[in-house]
């Protein structure tokens, strides 16, 4: 597929973010000289410096709060089918003269390129890297090679060459979004995961939301795995956030009756501990919803103590 075809696909990858109006009393603005438009240069795909990944990079000039646009640097992968995938993006900061780079992407072998999108609200302008970049992995190290016009292969020939930086530009109106929730931040036992409501075409994020109870799910999963995989005869579970186990944890205890569990938790600002001895039958401790609270464990085993007393 030629670069023109890729360029047509990328026309759909720019979205309008809206133009903010000025409220309040009307006034007559003084005549001002039009600001110089931003200029993009040295737009390319580079090896990350440690041989482990790649990133998009660029230099730019004349970008400030009077430019009337928001600039974003993108790293793309071009699949053999011609499909375009956004791998990383980074908003560029205002600067008279600046440089920018995306986060490092742990690349696989393939063909990549970069662009800078200038979003003016009612329209968008896209500037592409001068060429595609071939990524190879040799002896565990990433090698990035600019694909020349004379390579001859249909995936690397002159018809695939991107518009030169600062030269011909692509314009489009709003992207016809295809929105999906994607993980922006994976959940841990102490923090809920963050979901981004993101367009799979242009990469724009419409909204963020935390995944409720995702941290609790991680805590329960890790606790059950720790009990099942215990090498010693005792397991320590320590939390200052959660107050119950679910059936998954109780089933892990049932499967490892040779393991005792020392549980440390926090209740109303005080730290407590309770020991679930090895060999105990915990199969009937779950309530109708499948949970067993730590306070109930305290009553059942009558061995809880307030730490520090």
Residue 29 lies in a domain: no
The pLDDT of residue 50 is above 80: yes
Task: Kindly state whether residues 90 and 238 are assigned to the same domain.
Answer: no
Q: What pLDDT does 174 receive?
A: 47
CATH of the domain at 155: 2.60.40
The whole domain housing 189 covers 179-210
Residue 105 lies in a domain: yes
Residue 26 lies in a domain: no
Task: Kindly state whether residues 138 and 8 are assigned to the same domain.
Answer: yes
Does 15 or 297 have the greater pLDDT score?
297
Domain boundary among 112, 145, 172: 172
Task: Kindly state whether residues 183 and 244 are assigned to the same domain.
Answer: no
Phi, psi (degrees; rounded to nearest 5) at 280? -75, 145
Task: Kindly state whether residues 228 and 194 are assigned to the same domain.
Answer: no
Residue 117 lies in a domain: yes
pLDDT one-digit tens code per residue, 122-146: 566 778 898 999 999 999 899 999 9
The pLDDT of residue 303 is above 60: no
Task: Kindly state whether residues 78 and 145 are assigned to the same domain.
Answer: yes
Task: Kindly state whether residues 120 and 197 are assigned to the same domain.
Answer: no
- Tokens encoding 252: 């892990």
3-state SS string over the chain? CCHHHHHHHHHCCCCCCCCCCCCCCCCCCCCCCCCCCCEEEEEEEEECCCCCCEEEEEEEEEECCCCCCEEEEEEEEECCCCCEEEEEEEECCCEEEEEEECCCECCCCEEEEEEEEEECCCCEEEEECCCCEEEEEECCEEEEEECCCCCCCCCCCHHHCCCCCCCCCEEECCCCCCEEEEEEECCECCECCEEEEEECCCCCEEEEEECCCHHHHHHHHHHHHHHHCCCCCEEEEECCCCCEEEHHHHHHHHHCCCCEEEEEEEECCEEEEEEECCCCCCCCCCCCCCEEEHHHHHHHHCCCEECCC
The pLDDT of residue 2 is above 80: no
Task: Kindly state whether residues 96 and 160 are assigned to the same domain.
Answer: yes
The pLDDT of residue 210 is above 90: no
Residue 155 lies in a domain: yes
pLDDT one-digit tens code per residue, 76-107: 888 887 777 778 889 999 999 999 999 999 98
Q: Looking at the DSSP assignment, which residues form a beta bridge with residue 306?
A: 272
Q: Which residues contact 80 (CB under 8 A, 6 or more apart)?
A: 155
Task: Kindly state whether residues 230 and 158 are assigned to the same domain.
Answer: no
Task: Kindly state whether residues 88 and 221 are assigned to the same domain.
Answer: no
The pLDDT of residue 3 is above 90: no
Domain boundary among 110, 145, 172: 172
Q: What pLDDT does 263 receive?
A: 95
Task: Kindly state whether residues 206 and 269 are assigned to the same domain.
Answer: no
Task: Kindly state whether residues 147 and 189 are assigned to the same domain.
Answer: no
- Percentage of the chain surpassing pLDDT 90? 48
Residue 23 lies in a domain: no
The pLDDT of residue 8 is above 50: no
Tell me the average pLDDT of the chain: 79
Counted domains in the chain: 3
24-38, 190-204, 216-230: range with highest mean pLDDT: 216-230
Residue 267 lies in a domain: yes
Q: Which residues contact 122 (CB under 8 A, 6 or more apart)?
A: 16, 19, 173
Q: Looking at the DSSP assignment, which residues form a beta bridge with residue 171?
A: 125
Model pTM above 0.75: no
Task: Kindly state whether residues 260 and 160 are assigned to the same domain.
Answer: no
Phi, psi (degrees; rounded to nearest 5) at 158? -65, -30
**24-33, 226-235, 245-254, range with the lowest pLDDT:** 24-33
Residue 257 lies in a domain: yes
Domain boundary among 157, 189, 210: 210
What mean pLDDT do residues 177-185 have?
81
Q: What pLDDT does 309 receive?
A: 45
């Amino acid at each position: 597929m030629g670069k023109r075809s890729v360029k047509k696909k990328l026309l759909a990858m720019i979205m309008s973010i809206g133009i903010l109006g000025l409220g309040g009393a009307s006034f007559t603005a003084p005549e001002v000289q039009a600001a110089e438009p931003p200029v993009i240069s040295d737009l390319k795909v580079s090896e990350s410096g440690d041989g482990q990944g790649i990133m998009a990079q660029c230099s730019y000039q004349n970008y400030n709060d009077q430019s009337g646009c928001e600039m974003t640097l993108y790293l793309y992968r071009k699949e053999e089918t011609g499909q375009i995938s956004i791998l990383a993006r980074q908003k560029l900061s205002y600067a008279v003269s600046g440089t920018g780079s995306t986060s490092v992407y742990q690349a696989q072998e393939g063909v990549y390129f970069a662009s800078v999108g200038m979003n003016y609200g009612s329209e968008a302008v896209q500037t592409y890297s001068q060429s595609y970049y071939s990524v190879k992995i040799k002896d565990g190290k990433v090698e990035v090679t600019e694909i020349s016009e004379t390579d001859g292969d249909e995936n690397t020939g002159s018809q695939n060459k991107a518009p030169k930086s600062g030269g011909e530009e692509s314009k489009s109106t709003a992207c016809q979004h295809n929105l999906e929730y994607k993980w922006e931040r994976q959940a841990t036992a102490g923090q809920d995961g963050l979901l981004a409501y993101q367009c799979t075409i242009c990469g724009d994020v419409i909204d963020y939301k935390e995944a409720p109870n995702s941290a609790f799910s991680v805590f329960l999963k890790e606790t059950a795995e720790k009990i099942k995989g215990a090498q010693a005869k005792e397991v320590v579970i320590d939390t200052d956030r959660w107050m119950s186990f679910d059936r998954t944890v109780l089933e892990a205890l049932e499967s490892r009756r040779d393991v005792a569990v020392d549980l440390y938790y926090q209740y109303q600002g005080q730290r407590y501990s309770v020991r679930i001895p090895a060999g105990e039958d915990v199969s009937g401790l779950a309530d109708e919803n499948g949970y067993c609270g730590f306070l109930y464990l305290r009553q059942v085993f009558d061995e809880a103590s307030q730490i520090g007393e």
